[in-house]
Copies of this chain bind each other. A is one copy, B any other.
């Protein structure tokens, strides 16, 4: 506040036209060295900062990106957001944070707002494989990139850039690990099937069941909402079944950790009584006392790659190329599924295995 110093103020001080000031401050030709220096020193004196709004208006770009996520409360996003923010900053871009809370109409309003504000591009991470908001943006050739999700539907959608982890492969690895640990009946805590990540992880899970000759009827799926509480509730429901699964795969760690609590609250142990595997490898999964086995993905890198790709598009590099990047998932074995030792499956305490439903 208190009004800014403008180029015109400096012009007045220096007794020149505002264009001359502009030339001085932006290293443009057609100005003598002496006036240039004089102007620059005046600008420094009054601590001149250009008005980015005015610049944006005339240049038609804001050096700002929108980041659309569901909720920052899900620990997956801060880790992703760090990669995004770091990279954006290093490239001179700012981030406007938008949390949709899983509400597609709120997403829609956010998009309108972001476009009104002239953001140069949008990073989408939230759910919804068939997102009309995205469709519209693509039709308008608005620069965007999807992270950790894909959209289906229009053939046009095939040209959308994205950065994901090989979700199907990750789902496969998770369930394969459980199968190798001897589990034959597995509960999956899924998220909304609107999320491509969920669909693909489930797909991978099923593929593992088939590949290992198991009956898919023993792959039990309950739907959560990606948040911890829903993982808790789903796990309770699994445990209350007449023939409960001996292992649970949470399609994200946050729900898996909810399940972890549910198991303990039920007086059971992880992994002695029930095995647990997650997806994402959020920081807290590694905690002693939890040690969730999970599928790791490079969240920071994903964010960083997304920003680079998006900004490349915005600044006109590789305009034509469609960038669809799938990173490798990685099985991270910790404690929550037990482990093999000398060919024998053991509970982590080293004692004999004690999984009720392990047949």
A→B interface (CB under 8 Å): 1-2, 49-54, 56-57, 62, 64, 67, 71-73, 75, 77-79, 81-82, 85-86, 89, 94-99, 112-113, 115-118, 140-143, 228, 257, 260-261, 264-265, 283-284, 287-290
Cα distance A291–B1 in the bound complex, in angstroms: 47
- Contact between B85 and A72, CB atoms less than 8 A apart: yes
Smallest beta-carbon distance A115→chain B, Å:
6
Find chain B residues with CB under 8 A from A290 CB: 287, 289-290
What are some 22 contacts across the A-B interface (CB < 8 A)? A1-B140, A49-B115, A51-B57, A51-B116, A52-B118, A53-B62, A53-B117, A71-B82, A72-B78, A72-B82, A73-B78, A73-B79, A73-B82, A75-B75, A75-B78, A85-B97, A86-B99, A260-B288, A261-B288, A265-B288, A287-B289, A287-B290
- Asked if A116 meets B287 with Cβ closer than 8 Å, knowing A73-B78, A95-B96, the reply is no
CA distance A79 to B99 in the complex (A): 13
Interface centre among A95, A142, A288 (most CB of B within 10 A): A288
Contact of A116 among B52, B95, B140, B260 (CB under 8 A): B52
Task: Give the distance in Å from the alpha carbon of A143 to the alpha carbon of B118 in the complex.
Answer: 24
Name A136's closest neighbour in chain B (CB-CB). Answer: B47
Known: A1-B141, A53-B56, A260-B287; 6 extra A-B contacts, CB below 8 A, are A1-B143, A54-B57, A72-B78, A94-B96, A257-B287, A260-B289
* Minimal Cβ-Cβ distance residue in B for A261: B288
Bound CA–CA A85/B66 (angstroms)? 14
A287, B112: Cα distance in complex, Å = 39
Query: How far does the Cβ of A97 sit from chain B's closest Cβ, in whole Å?
Result: 5
Query: Inside 8 A of A62's CB, which chain B residues have their CB?
Result: 53
State the Cβ distance, A317 to closest chain B Cβ, in Å: 15
Residues of B within 8 A of A50 (CB): 116
Please measure, in the bound complex, the distance between the C-alpha atom of A67 and the C-alpha atom of B257, giving whole angstroms: 29
Most buried by B among A52, A62, A257: A52
Identify A72's interface contact among B57, B81, B287, B288, CB under 8 A.
B81
Across the interface, do B77 and A78 meet the contact criterion of CB distance under 8 Å?
yes
- A290–B97 Cα distance when bound, in Å, is 31
**Chain B's nearest CB lies how many Å from the CB of A323?**
18
CB distance from A2 to the nearest CB of B (A): 5
Q: How far is the CA of A82 from the CA of B74 in the complex (A)?
A: 11
User: In the complex, what residues of B have CB within 8 A of residue A1's CB?
Assistant: 140-143
- Shortest A150–chain B CB gap in Å is 22
With a CB–CB cut-off of 8 A, which chain B residues contact A86?
A: 99
Complex Cα–Cα for A283 and B54 (A): 42
Partner of A57, one of B57, B116, B141, B228: B57
Give the distance to chain B from A311, nearest Cβ to Cβ, in Å. 14
* Nearest B-chain residue to A228, judged by Cβ: B283
A79 CB contacts on chain B under 8 angstroms: 73
Interface centre among A1, A51, A112, A140 (most CB of B within 10 A): A1
Set of chain B residues within 8 Å of A140, measured between Cβ atoms: 1-2
Q: Closest residue to A75 on the B side, CB-wise?
A: B75
Contacts of A57 in B (CB 8 A): 51, 53-54, 57
C-alpha spacing A123/B228, complex, angstroms: 29
